[in-house]
Amino acid sequence: MGMRERCSVLMQALRAAGRARRRSLLLALSVGVACALLRVAAGAAPEWTERLYSRGLYPWFERGLSFVSGLSPWSLGELGLLALALLAAVRAARVVRERVRGTGRALELACAEFLRVLTLASWSVSFYLLAWGLNHARLPYAHGSGFDMRPAGAEELEQATRDWLQRARDARSSLPENADGTVAIEGDFEQLASSVARAWSVASATDARLAGSRPVLRDGSLSLAMKLAGISGIYWPFTAEPHVNTLAPVPQRMFSALHEVAHQRGFAREDEANFLAVHVGTLSGDPALAYSVALVAMRELHRALRSAAPERARQVERAIPAPLRRDIDALNAFWAPRSAAQRAVRSVSTKVNDTYLVSQGQRHGVASYGRMVDLLIAQRRRLTAPASPADSSPADSSPADSSPADSSRVDSSRVDSSRVDSSRVDSSR
């Protein structure tokens, strides 16, 4: 059969698939295009996006989805994925059966299923953008925080690293240990979820931007698959459910829970979600949360310092006490790929995540996770700066506004850091 005949048969199969399905697809594609144009417009006007969507419509979407998800003891996101997988298997089996029988309807059924998939994908993208995705275009968190976002010099970076090391050391001293000497957590996942909810409630009392409904935090049933893919948490925007990899060591688990709730509260950028996890955990008054975020903050700052000033980084590393070293070793061992197949899966997962983030306007891709360092430094400057009349106005300066270049300054987007929270292989992300 020649190319012309094949095309003719395909067109006949598409016509046989049904006019109603084609109309449904056209409607879904039209709505999808409209939502995509809305996303472009939102990116061009972040002030309006912040006011009308992130602080206007989005909280209503989030409350409604969280209410519905909270009615179920199981993850609606995971149940939905399972249902889709089973449905896809049944539909594919029908096509294969017709092919084996030789009834001549296999191509018609395949075309019909193709139209269904396109229709579902179009509606899913539209719902994603309206229910959460437009948050990628909101104003940066630093915009309303009075942060000075100039690049940090090596000395400032070292001092910040030592500050967070001291915080981690102080918080760790009051926590219990497992038999292997790693930090332990008392209570089950429900208690973790309650601690995280309280932490966000405390933080929102002083910053209305952090307010939101009680998170429906889920312990991921697919934690083993998440580990293989290098994922410590996932926020599922279709159901407003933050998921946590419960196989991860305690510090990672607690940090990831705080990070995913930041996405639920409408902060889509990865650097901001990481920073807010640290900020909220520090304010929580919970020793386990405070230690977990301090350890992550110290590690990220240390990575940045190692890139900017290796000798300074080695000096800081020598000051890390044994209990923290045990926890860091446990984290490294947990995430280390065990085989070539796992490394391949991890590579694909990272590439998917990177592509997704870039497509949503996070131009640094997976490197965005490490850019939390910029926000940590900026917050430290604000907290340690002497009071002056100039403090009454925000100082949201960009690197272009900074002083002349210093060879010891570091761009955190270039730091080769392993992901603290690879939560973006989902649709949110």
Q: pLDDT, tens digit, for every residue of 290-316?
A: 999 999 999 999 999 999 999 999 999
Which tens digits make up the pLDDT trace of 94-145?
Answer: 888 887 887 767 777 787 888 889 899 999 999 999 999 999 999 999 887 8
Phi, psi of 115 (to 5 degrees): -65, -40
Cβ atoms 228, 342 nearer than 8 A? yes
SS3 assignment, position 413:
helix
Cα-based torsion angle of the residue sequence 66, 69, 72, 74 in order, rounded to the nearest 10 degrees:
-120
Which tens digits make up the pLDDT trace of 7-50?
Answer: 565 555 555 556 667 788 889 999 999 999 999 999 999 999 99
3, pLDDT greater than 70: no
348, pLDDT greater than 90: no
415, pLDDT greater than 50: no
Q: What share of the chain is helix, strand, coil (3-state, %, to 5)?
A: 70, 5, 30
Cβ atoms 231, 425 nearer than 8 A? yes
Lookup result for tokens 């990070």? 259
Q: Which of 85-89, 160-164, 271-275, 398-402 has the lowest mean pLDDT?
A: 398-402
Check residue 386 and report its DSSP letter. Answer: P
Q: What is the pTM of this model?
A: 0.84
**Ramachandran assignment for 242, one of left (phi > 0), alpha (psi -120 to 50 degrees), beta (any other):** beta
Cβ atoms 366, 354 nearer than 8 A? yes
Lookup result for tokens 């994603």? 128
**pLDDT of 383:** 87
Residue 418 pLDDT grade (very low, low, confident, very high; cuts 50, 70, 90): very low
**pLDDT of 419:** 38
Residue 2 pLDDT grade (very low, low, confident, very high; cuts 50, 70, 90): low
DSSP H/E element including 242: strand 241-244
Cβ atoms 227, 245 nearer than 8 A? yes
Q: What angle do CA 60, 64, 66 make, to 5 degrees?
A: 115
404, pLDDT greater than 70: no
Beta bridge partners of 410: 152
Mean pLDDT for 413-420 is 38
406, pLDDT greater than 50: no
> Which residues have C-beta within 8 Å of that of residue 372, sequence separation ≥ 6?
271, 272, 274, 275, 278, 297, 300, 412, 420
**pLDDT of 425:** 35
Ranges 110-114, 185-189, 264-268, most confident: 264-268
